[in-house]
């Protein structure tokens, strides 16, 4: 993956001028500047990707670079909001002490100092980078697989279901990579007296609970993350489609890169708000489960009660809304930087248009 990245960045038009070197029959060579015309009847069979793209859509290089975009997208954003995540987790697991978002920050700073707000940054950075690799990389893979299975017409008609299925499949595997680091993060942030160092917490969990100590929260994690990701991708895709159709006064191809990224950020924030609401009860269970040794998801949910499951929703809406918007912005910006092919908003296939016209007649 990294060799593909370095090759793409090295050849990016942002950093490297393009020129061609042609050799004459006598062996002498000279640099030739690129021209703006195409020789008639000339076929260039070596170029599989569209002009200006660094790779072909659906190639292994494309998926690898999408995964790299996911690493940056999720790793950077989740690490940046560790202080807010820490307070949110403490509100969920100890609401008697941490009575709200502002009180939570105040109590944390008073007891642990400003450095205490950074507890859990290492497992967050590692875990969510791995999750981003799987989430965005596999989403592109599954979207193409399922689209190929359905065909052009059904892929358009059932595109929302396609987004939901592809994102759920991707998140299932991404969470397997995330779960051990999530267990370490929550233990560091919520268990009194716990070491703030990942290199001490991870061996302690393995010593006390074995390998399953890292994965006892996998079921509620799936319950939290899969609905979250399904909403994140499906809502984003349909919101982008709606913005270009009803709000932006020109087609996407005529928009500048900056305008396209603004649309991406707006659609990402809207998707993030819905994501936070859908996944919050399971998020509370995950926090409670990893705080207490030996408990199960059902036991944790019973202790919390219906009202307790929704504790910390306000800071999570703020966090997830901002987080999701920034993730889509970074991911789209990486695609622009690496010159990856970017799919246009869905258009009804001509064959389907003809069928509808024939049916109306």
Q: Is residue 189 part of a domain?
A: yes
Q: What is the pLDDT of residue 344?
A: 72
Q: What is the pLDDT of residue 2?
A: 46
Q: Which two tokens stand for residue 351?
A: 């064959």
Q: Is residue 349 part of a domain?
A: no
Say if residues 299 and 216 touch (Cβ distance below 8 Å).
no
Q: Is residue 117 part of a domain?
A: yes
Check residues 287 and 128 and name the one with the higher pLDDT: 128
Query: Which secondary structure element, helix H or strand E, spans residue 63, and what is its range?
Result: helix 60-80
Q: Is residue 33 part of a domain?
A: no
Smallest CA-to-CA distance from 227 within 312, 320, 146 is with 320
pLDDT, average across residues 201-206: 92
Q: What is the pLDDT of residues 122-148, one digit of tens each?
A: 999 999 999 999 999 999 999 999 999
Q: Which two tokens stand for residue 285?
A: 């269970």
Say if residues 4 and 61 touch (Cβ distance below 8 Å).
yes
**CATH code: domain of residue 130:** 1.50.40.10
Q: Which residues contact 63 (CB under 8 A, 6 or more apart)?
A: 137, 140, 141
Structural domain containing residue 333: 55-341
Asked if pLDDT for residue 88 goes beyond 50, the answer is: yes
Q: Is residue 10 part of a domain?
A: no
Asked if pLDDT for residue 329 goes beyond 80, the answer is: yes
Task: Identify any residues that bridge with 31 across adjacent strands, giving them in sequence order.
Answer: 21
Q: What is the pLDDT of residue 44?
A: 33
How far apart (Å, rounded) are the C-alpha atoms in residues 135 and 49? 24
Q: Is residue 348 part of a domain?
A: no
Split at pLDDT 50, 70, 90, the class of 4 is low
Q: Is residue 44 part of a domain?
A: no
Q: Is residue 23 part of a domain?
A: no
Asked if pLDDT for residue 111 goes beyond 70, the answer is: yes
Q: What SS3 state is found at 30? A: strand
Q: Which two tokens stand for residue 238?
A: 């349909």
Q: What value does the mean pLDDT of the chain take? A: 82
Domain count along the chain: 1
Q: Which two tokens stand for residue 68?
A: 């790299």
Number of CB atoms found within 10 A of residue 23's CB? 9
Q: What is the pLDDT of residue 255?
A: 84
Number of CB atoms found within 10 A of residue 47's CB? 10
Asked if pLDDT for residue 91 goes beyond 90, the answer is: no
Query: Which secondary structure element, helix H or strand E, spans residue 31, and what is its range?
Result: strand 29-32
Split at pLDDT 50, 70, 90, the class of 68 is very high
Q: What is the pLDDT of residues 293-321, one digit of tens each?
A: 667 778 788 888 888 888 888 888 887 88
The reported pTM is 0.74
How far apart (Å, rounded) are the C-alpha atoms in residues 206 and 209? 5
Instruction: Provide the terminal-to-terminal Cα distance of the chain, rounded to the nearest Å.
Output: 53
Say if residues 76 and 322 touch (Cβ distance below 8 Å).
no
Positive or negative, the CA dihedral 209, 215, 218, 219 is negative
């Amino acid at each position: 993956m990294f060799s593909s990245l370095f090759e793409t960045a090295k050849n990016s038009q942002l950093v490297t001028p393009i020129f061609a070197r042609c050799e004459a029959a006598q062996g002498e060579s000279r640099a030739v500047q690129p021209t703006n015309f195409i020789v008639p009847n000339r076929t260039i069979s070596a170029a599989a990707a569209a002009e200006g793209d660094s790779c072909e859509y659906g190639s292994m290089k494309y998926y690898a670079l999408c995964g790299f975009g996911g690493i940056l997208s999720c790793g950077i954003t989740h690490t940046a909001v560790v202080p807010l995540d820490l307070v949110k987790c403490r509100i969920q697991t100890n609401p008697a002490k941490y009575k709200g978002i502002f009180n939570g920050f105040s109590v944390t700073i008073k007891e642990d100092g400003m450095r205490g707000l950074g507890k859990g940054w290492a497992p967050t950075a590692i875990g969510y980078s791995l999750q981003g690799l799987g989430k965005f990389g596999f989403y592109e893979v599954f979207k193409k697989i399922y689209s190929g299975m359905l065909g052009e017409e059904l892929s358009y008609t059932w595109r929302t279901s396609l987004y939901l299925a592809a994102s759920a499949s991707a998140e299932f595997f991404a969470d397997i990579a995330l779960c051990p680091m999530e267990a370490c993060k929550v233990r560091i942030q919520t268990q009194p007296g716990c070491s703030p160092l990942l290199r001490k917490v991870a061996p302690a969990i393995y010593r006390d609970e074995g390998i399953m100590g890292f994965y006892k929260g996998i079921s509620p994690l799936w319950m939290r993350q899969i609905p979250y990701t399904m909403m994140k991708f499906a809502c984003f895709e349909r919101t982008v489609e709606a913005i270009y159709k009803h709000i932006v006064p020109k087609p996407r191809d005529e928009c500048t890169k900056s305008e396209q990224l603004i649309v991406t950020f707006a659609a990402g924030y809207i998707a993030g708000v819905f994501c936070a609401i859908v996944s919050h009860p399971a998020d509370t269970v995950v926090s409670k489960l990893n705080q207490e040794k030996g408990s199960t998801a059902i036991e944790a949910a019973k202790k919390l009660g219906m009202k307790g499951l929704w504790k910390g929703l306000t800071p999570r809406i703020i966090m997830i809304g901002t987080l999701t918007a920034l993730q889509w912005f970074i991911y789209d910006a990486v695609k622009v930087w690496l010159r990856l092919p970017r799919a246009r908003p869905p258009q009804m296939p001509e064959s389907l248009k003809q069928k509808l016209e024939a049916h109306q007649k």
